[in-house]
Amino acid sequence: MRRVIIDSDTAGDDTTAILMAMKYFKVEGITIVAGNVAFDQEVDNALTTIETYQPDYKIPVFKGYQNPMTALPNETHDTVEEIQGGNGMGDA
């Protein structure tokens, strides 16, 4: 079986991709990076996605960098809950 590591900001499109990956690959881990919603929400979304699929093996979730890598020192990272919903999943 092919093995993958997924790097994600874990909003709705990413969770769909994670679910599909768990069906066709052995997911060795998921790393979370800054994205469209609050960082801790992204981590929760990854954990919930794994729990929903219930794989027969443990998939670790790792916290990555919580800010954009290309941001200038005085810039802040803006999230877009007004588009993605408060949980990044359209509030589903």
Q: Where are the domains of the chain?
A: 3-68
Q: Provide the pLDDT for residue 88.
A: 73
72/3: higher pLDDT: 3
SS3 74: coil
Q: Hey, how many other C-beta atoms are within 10 angstroms of the C-beta on 73?
A: 4
HSE-up of residue 49 (Cα within 13 Å, Cβ side): 32
Q: Give residue 68's pLDDT band: very low, low, confident or very high (50, 70, 90).
A: confident
| Structure confidence by residue, pLDDT tens digits, 39-67 | 999 999 999 999 999 999 999 999 998 88
Round to whole Å and give the CA distance between 58 and 40: 20
Q: Provide the pLDDT for residue 82.
A: 79
Q: Mean pLDDT, the chain, as a whole number? A: 90
